[in-house]
């Protein structure tokens, strides 16, 4: 089944709306907000076509549609090839063996990344048992009514530093930027979140820089932010 340009336009609108608001988009609302010059029945048929292709799904009967993980994966793969360069300024640490300077550097990197993306940011060096993160309190304060028991799972994960660092090392990473969405995440309670992570090698030592947030995030900026901060 081949997509028409209108199919693609409608799919893009639904994804943009979801990433911006997290809301289900009905055909009538879509036509009210966007001038597509077609009838509600035509939009519903286009949505049905996209659903058959597993690019959209209907969370419950008589509901609008949301993007599937299949489509978000296609969307993310496209961004991986086309994201602009959003630089987050940080100077390289001058001496990796100066422990105090290294800790300051790690703290500044994670703080800078979280401040610019508004996501939880991490900097991990498993070989040195270093695990630094920023923005956790803001995340929990903002989302505690939504994530409920996941709060405790996230806190337990962060407190158990040994297993946490082992968890990071088990991710099947390439040497650039990696994006894990929905059930691609290893831990069950992370299935509703997205992880964007980069592995870098400094003096033969592996470092990890990454962010985690809900599935609904600014993928374009966040991918490039993680990619170019170091």
pLDDT digits over 17-30, tens only?
777 776 777 777 77
Q: What is the pLDDT of residue 126?
A: 87
Burial class of 173 by CB neighbour count within 10 A (0 to 12, 13 to 18, 19+)? middle
Q: Is the domain covering 86-228 a CATH 3.40.50.450 domain?
A: no
Partnered with residue 115 across adjacent β-strands are: none
Residue 36 to residues 3, 52, 67: CA-CA distances in angstroms?
A: 16, 22, 19
CATH class of 5-67: mainly alpha
Mean pLDDT, residues 38-59 taken together:
81
Q: Which pLDDT band, with edges at 50, 70 and 90, does 72 fall under?
A: confident
Domain boundaries, the chain: 5-67, 86-228
């Amino acid at each position: 089944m081949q997509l028409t340009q209108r199919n693609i336009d409608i799919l893009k609108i639904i994804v943009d709306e979801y990433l911006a608001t997290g809301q289900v988009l009905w055909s009538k609302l879509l036509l009210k907000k966007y001038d597509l010059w077609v009838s509600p029945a035509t939009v519903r048929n286009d949505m049905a076509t996209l659903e058959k292709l597993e690019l959209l799904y209907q969370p419950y009967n008589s509901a609008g549609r949301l993007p599937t993980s299949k489509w978000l994966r296609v969307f993310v793969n496209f961004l991986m090839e086309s994201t602009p360069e959003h630089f987050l300024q940080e100077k390289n640490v001058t001496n990796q063996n100066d422990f105090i300077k290294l800790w300051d550097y790690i703290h500044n990197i994670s703080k800078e990344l979280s401040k610019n993306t508004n996501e939880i940011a991490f900097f991990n060096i498993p070989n040195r048992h270093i695990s630094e993160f920023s923005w956790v309190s803001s995340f929990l304060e903002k989302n505690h009514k939504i994530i409920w028991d996941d709060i405790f799972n996230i806190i337990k994960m962060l407190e158990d530093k040994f297993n946490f660092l082992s968890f990071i090392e088990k991710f099947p990473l390439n040497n650039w930027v990696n994006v894990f969405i929905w059930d691609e995440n290893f831990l069950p309670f992370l299935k509703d979140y997205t992880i964007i992570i980069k592995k870098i090698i400094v003096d033969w030592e592996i470092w990890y820089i990454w962010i985690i947030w809900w599935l609904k995030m600014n993928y374009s900026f966040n991918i490039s932010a993680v990619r170019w901060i170091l």
